[in-house]
Amino acid sequence: MEDDDQQKAADLVQELVLRLLSQNPQTPNPDPNSPAFLKTLRYAFRILSSRLTPSVAPDATAIAESLKRRLATQGKSSDALAFADLYTKFASKTGPGSVNNKWALVYLLKIVSDDRKSAINGLDSSVLLPNLGLGDAASSLGNGLLRGGEAKKKDWSNGVLLVSKDPENLRDIAFREYAALVKEENEVTEEVLVRDVLYACQGIDGKYVKFNSEIDGYAVLDYVKVPRATRIMVRMLSELGWLFRKVKTFISESMDRFPAEEVGTVGQAFCAALQDELSDYYKLLAVLEAQAMNPIPLVSQSAGSSNYLSLRRLSVWFAEPMVKMRLMAVLVDKCKVLRGGAMAGAIHLHAQHGDPLVHEFMMSLLRCVCSPLFEMVRSWVLEGELEDTFGEFFVVGHPVKVDSLWREGYKLHPGMLPSFISPSLAQRILRTGKSINFLRVCCDDHGWADAASEAAAASGTTTRRGGLGYGETDALEHLVTEAAKRIDKHLLDVLYKRYKFKEHCLAIKRYLLLGQGDFVQYLMDIVGPKLSEPANNISSFELAGFLETAIRASNAQYDDRDMLDRLRVKMMPHGSGDRGWDVFSLEYEARVPLDTVFTESVLSKYLRVFNFLWKLKRVEHALIGVWKTMKPNCITSNSFVKLQTSVKLQLLSALRRCQVLWNEMNHFVTNFQYYIMFEVLEVSWSNFAKEMEAAKDLDDLLAAHEKYLNSIVGKSLLGEQSETIRKSLFVLFELILRFRSHADRLYEGIYELQIRTKESGRERNKAQESSSWISEGRKAITQRAGEFLQSMSQDMDSIAKEYTSSLDGFLSLLPLQQSVDLKFLFFRLDFTEFYSRLHSKG
């Protein structure tokens, strides 16, 4: 029964081959017994006995559509329609006598058709055999079929094609022959190339894969015979070695060739992080080298172990290391010329990546790189120590004097500020460390340590090393905020309570800004006569005695003795023609730590304000002196009854002119002094006191004091923009002082005239002192008095004219000033619009 089935199959195959050959124009009537027919029949049996599996999916419809499209593209539209009709009938036929595996039959016909075309193009079936990998062997089934073909043919119109399995494993033989053909095309085996690629990935030249300086990369040697696809794959895989070489060179140069000060701690941490990644990379290469020892199985073989390594498997293994190594190479190129915080900031920019692999890798790298930087921040914020041996921190210290420690001792270095720390946070970090150093150096205080410990506890960190790291920016900001709040508060408490900053500011206001009225008035009274002398004749020690006397004679004696001892007399540089009024001034000695606020520049501004206020007080004192001289009982004596009427009228006119001019000057000085003392000094002090209470740190306190002082300087016409109006004001002061001297001469002359008039009445008959104008008799007295009063009236008119002109110029400049308070001063001085009307008439 089994032999009959084989014979049926053989007959069907022989009939199929015969029909196919008969369709060939070269063999229209093939002879079944000819060698060519037998060779073709043998080839058919070898195909049928093969175990090769096709590379396409078992889809009969898809193959039929492919054949139909091929016929249509070849211009055989009728054949395509006929094929579609036949295939439809073939596919719809079911039941007994039909073909079950329709796909296999259609695929077989397609393969046979392709082989026929190849044979027509000059290739016979014997050439196709090695390409199919079948060899020259024939199966026993094929031999049996051939023997059956030599027997009597039987007609099988409707039969089923049955192909038995190959017991001699011809498929394995074909694969071995295919492997031999592959070896003939390749001069180097894949195992050797894999090993060389692994060497290249360690920066080592292999036997066939070496570094090529012309292409700047690893590649298979040109004379080695390998397929182009293999050469390209080796080049792609060896890129990892080129990247490794770049990273390794950077680490070697940084750690060995360059000194530590050029690399810095952040650079060393970066190299250490790269070295850790390379250690993991070495472990991977060790695993791959172990797998590379296992042989690569043939395509037809099932590998005994899956731990072999091919170039394609190597590409899969290298996917993740390639990403990391490329990133490390980019970072190496970026950080070659960077140091410290700049290096950390540059690396941080590459961490903003959407790939989870890259992001995790960069986070791990940055935690290592930024650890020295965060340690510097922790040490600076909590201990005030600047542990920056190689200049990598964004806070830079400068050697300065103690009084300049706060302003100039420490500065931000913008070039070293990493991008993950904002400028505002950097400013708070700077100020917190400065506050600790200020307390330690200037205030000799150690209470900041407790405040730092409380800040660390409140922020959830510790004062020990390693408490902060990259990725904990919120924790860092919380720590800095808590430390700044507590340390700055402690600093202000030390300044306010231990060093009495507010009391010193008030003492400066009282003595340098002349706020202590009784002290100023008494000092003016006792030093006035001495200051009228030439400056070269005045001793500073004598003036210091006057100052001490004024303190003891006023309520200033009840102030703190430490503050009174800081108040001293200062004689400014002077020339030969200067008077004591021009060089006298008071100064306030500022000691550590108050000299941080009251610096030399600040005290020079206070000196300018004092000199201005002292001039104003001198003018006021001069007018008060004139008023004391203008007593009514000094000029209403009966001694002038006997004078001529013309002289009496001259006297009354001179006195009236003096009184009117005094009133004008007094009006101006009184209102201007009110403006300075109340609207400038008191208002500025009130605002400063409020800002002093609201200050949260020393910077706020310094800014408030600077604003307070600048406000006084600006509103007192001492600024650069007020130079013109200030000169006009000083001209008015000079005119008032000239008026004081003329008024003194006038009343001294009147007083002397009064005395001489009485004496002349008693000694009229005596002929002594005939050369004196008083002793020349009543007529001579009257003549001399008229000349004196006329001269004094002319001088008063001249002073009044100059004063009116200067005051008009001063008032015209007031509305042009920026300060609103100066405009109100204009309103106070001209509230009756007298000067405005006078100016309009002029």
For 68-78, the pLDDT digits (tens) are 878 877 778 78
Q: Partners of 567 in the beta sheet?
A: 588
DSSP-assigned states of every residue in 593-651? TGGGTS-HHHHHHHHHHHHHHHHHHHHHHHHHHHHHH--GGGT--GGGTTS-HHHHHHH
Q: What is the pLDDT of residue 83?
A: 82
Encoded tokens for 356: 């989870």
**What amino acid occupies position 712?**
I
Q: How many CB atoms lie within 10 A of CB 393?
A: 27
Give the SS3 label for residue 588: strand
DSSP-assigned states of every residue in 127-178? HHHHHHT--S---HHHHHHHHHHHS-----SS--------TT-HHHHHHHHH
Query: How far is CA 501 from each of CA 512, 589, 593, 684, 834, rounded to the nearest angstrom?
Result: 16, 13, 10, 17, 47
Angle at 601 between CA 599 and CA 603, to 5 degrees: 70
**What amino acid occupies position 280?**
D
Task: Choose between 644 and 302: higher pLDDT.
Answer: 644
Q: How many CB atoms lie within 10 A of CB 340?
A: 25
Encoded tokens for 643: 């004078």
Total length of the chain: 842
Q: Partners of 588 in the beta sheet?
A: 567
Encoded tokens for 199: 């060497």
**Among 357-366, 587-596, 689-698, 750-759, the least confident range:** 750-759
Task: Choose between 677 and 770: higher pLDDT.
Answer: 677
Q: What is the pLDDT of residue 173?
A: 65
Q: Within 13 Å and on the Cβ side, how many CA atoms surround 642?
A: 12
| CA–CA gap between residue 340 and residue 396 (Å, rounded) | 12
Residue 144 pLDDT > 90: no
| CA–CA gap between residue 731 and residue 752 (Å, rounded) | 32
The model's confidence at residue 842, banded by pLDDT at 50, 70 and 90, is low
Backbone angles phi, psi at 260, to 5 degrees: -65, -35
The model's confidence at residue 51, banded by pLDDT at 50, 70 and 90, is low
The CA R_g of the chain, rounded to the nearest whole Å, is 57
Residue 503 pLDDT > 50: yes
**Among 55-64, 200-209, 398-407, 543-552, the least confident range:** 55-64
Mean pLDDT, residues 383-387: 87
Residue 287 pLDDT > 60: yes
| Predicted confidence (pLDDT) per residue in 592-603, tens digit | 899 999 999 999
Q: What is the pLDDT of residue 54?
A: 59
Q: What is the pLDDT of residue 57?
A: 59
**Among 86-95, 228-237, 601-610, the least confident range:** 86-95
Mean pLDDT, residues 559-586: 87
Residue 105 pLDDT > 80: no
- The answer to whether 290 and 392 are in contact (CB under 8 A) is no
- The answer to whether 731 and 806 are in contact (CB under 8 A) is yes
| CA–CA gap between residue 326 and residue 588 (Å, rounded) | 67
Containing 10, the helix (H) or strand (E) segment is: helix 2-22
Q: What is the pLDDT of residue 463?
A: 58
| CA–CA gap between residue 510 and residue 505 (Å, rounded) | 9
- The answer to whether 222 and 210 are in contact (CB under 8 A) is no
Residue 518 pLDDT > 60: yes
The model's confidence at residue 98, banded by pLDDT at 50, 70 and 90, is confident
- The answer to whether 718 and 822 are in contact (CB under 8 A) is no
Mean pLDDT, residues 488-514: 93
The model's confidence at residue 52, banded by pLDDT at 50, 70 and 90, is low
* Residue 550 buriedness (CB in 10 A; 0-12 / 13-18 / 19+): buried
Query: How far is CA 421 from each of CA 342, 427, 451, rounded to the nearest angstrom?
Result: 11, 10, 24
Task: Choose between 768 and 464: higher pLDDT.
Answer: 464
| CA–CA gap between residue 270 and residue 665 (Å, rounded) | 78
**Of all residues in the chain, what percent carry a pLDDT higher than 90?**
28
| Predicted confidence (pLDDT) per residue in 620-671, tens digit | 988 988 888 776 544 544 455 555 666 777 777 878 888 888 988 999 999 8
Q: What is the pLDDT of residue 178?
A: 61
Q: Which residue in 102, 83, 82 sits closest to 92, CA to CA? A: 102
Residue 460 pLDDT > 60: yes
Mean pLDDT, residues 193-221: 89
Encoded tokens for 684: 């500025």
Mean pLDDT, residues 372-399: 88
Q: What is the pLDDT of residue 604?
A: 93
| CA–CA gap between residue 349 and residue 356 (Å, rounded) | 15
Q: How many CB atoms lie within 10 A of CB 360?
A: 12
| CA–CA gap between residue 554 and residue 521 (Å, rounded) | 9
Residue 243 pLDDT > 90: yes
Backbone angles phi, psi at 218, to 5 degrees: -90, 140
| CA–CA gap between residue 204 and residue 352 (Å, rounded) | 34
Query: How far is CA 403 from each of CA 120, 264, 412, 612, 692, rounded to the nearest angstrom?
Result: 105, 32, 19, 27, 21
**Of all residues in the chain, what percent carry a pLDDT higher than 70?**
79
- The answer to whether 512 and 588 are in contact (CB under 8 A) is yes
The model's confidence at residue 82, banded by pLDDT at 50, 70 and 90, is confident
| CA–CA gap between residue 377 and residue 386 (Å, rounded) | 9
What pairing do the DSSP bridges indicate for beta strands 584-588 and 410-412? Answer: unpaired
Q: Partners of 212 in the beta sheet?
A: 217
Rounded mean pLDDT of the chain?
80
